Chains A and B, each alone.
Chain A
Amino acid sequence: MNVEYKNKWISQLKKGTLSFIVLNILNKDKEYYGYDLISEIKRITDIDIAEGTLYPLLIRLKNENLVEHNWVEQQSGIPRKYYKITKEGKSTIAQMKAYWDNLNQTINSI
């Protein structure tokens, strides 16, 4: 087995599906702050992501109007930046999900 090729493929797959995973998590109508979101991704998917890569991704999603954020002051004095999905984000993830299901079905039928 070509382990190197397989690992490269897995890494590309993880990278390509990260925005899909993030939007899916946020689609549960709960607000998440960065670290909380990373913990949730790890809990659900078992993907060991480079945590720093999540922040540029969230900026991109925000620039595309798929998510929005608000800062919430904490008693500790260190505020949290909470992210939530937008209306446009919800309709986008619905279409992404439909495509994903279709792709999954096609792959399974091969």
Chain B
Amino acid sequence: MKFQEITFTDTNAKRLYKDYIGRVKHAVKDLSKENQHETLLEINSHIYEAFSLSKSNEVESLLDIFDKLGRPEIFLKELVAEKKLEEATRTFNPLKIIKALLLNITNGISYIIFLLLYLSLFSFVFLIFAKIFDPENVGFFYRNNDIFVLGKISSSSINYQQYEQLGNWFIPVMTVSAFILFVIITFLLKLSKRLKNK
């Protein structure tokens, strides 16, 4: 379905309309092309229907319609947050998910928890890089009833390297762990969304 601009005879009305549509486009720019287009079509339809019933001049009519609709940056905020989260959990794209959670942060404590869980995934990425730059002191150090460290150990007189359990497997294990955790958190996020909708 194609977006068609509403036509006006008054140039000021045309300018007002283009400005408002521009603001709508800007407010939904984070959404997928399909969702951007659908939102734009719906708002345009609202303006057209309201305008076609209006009896005052074009500029006055438009000002009244925009006043009643509200500022796109405000009233579309919730719609964008809702659609963005739906898009993000469908794609499994971590950056999209974090962006969507940031947009939804005011919509409930669960979104804050999920955001923190996703951010914790970066600690695995950090460990992978830390292992590359400091292979001696980074790893999974374990000895029964004595030491349990996943990360970086401070250099000291004791040689902890003998307790490192993963060796060359550290990076693959961290990569797979991060991936598995990411999939689990994303499924939990989807599940929590579904439960909220019940």
| Interface, chain A (partner B; CB < 8 A) | 33-36, 50-53, 55-56, 59-60, 63-65, 71, 73, 76-81
Docked-complex contact A81 and B70, CB < 8 angstroms: no
Asked if residues B70 and A34 are in contact (CB atoms below 8 Å), the reply is no
Report yes or no: A76 in contact with B48, Cβ–Cβ below 8 A.
Answer: yes
The 3 closest A-B pairs by CB, nearest first: A52-B75, A52-B70, A35-B49
B residues engaging A (CB < 8 A)? 1, 4, 6, 38-39, 41-46, 48-50, 52, 68-72, 74-76, 78-79, 82-83, 86, 197
- Residue contact B4 to A51, C-beta cutoff 8 Å: no
B197 touches A53 (CB 8 A): no
Given A35-B50, A55-B43, A60-B82, 12 other A-B contacts at CB below 8 A?
A33-B45, A35-B49, A50-B70, A51-B69, A52-B72, A55-B39, A55-B79, A56-B78, A59-B82, A59-B83, A73-B1, A81-B42
- Output the nearest chain A residue to B81 by Cβ-Cβ distance: A56
A51 and B197 contact, CB distance less than 8 A: no
Cβ 8 A contact of B79, one of A59, A73, A77, A80: A59
Q: Is the CB of A81 within 8 A of B4?
A: no
Instruction: Contact check, B42 vs A55: say whether CB atoms are below 8 A apart.
Output: yes
Contact status A63-B82, CB under 8 Å: yes
A77 surroundings in chain B (CB, below 8 A)? 4
CB distance from A72 to the nearest CB of B (A): 10
Give the residues in chain B near A59, CB-CB below 8 Å: 79, 82-83
Residues from chain B with Cβ under 8 Å of A73 in the complex: 1
Which of A65, A77, A78: most chain B CB closer than 10 A?
A: A78
Instruction: Check B49–A33 contact: CB distance below 8 A.
Output: yes
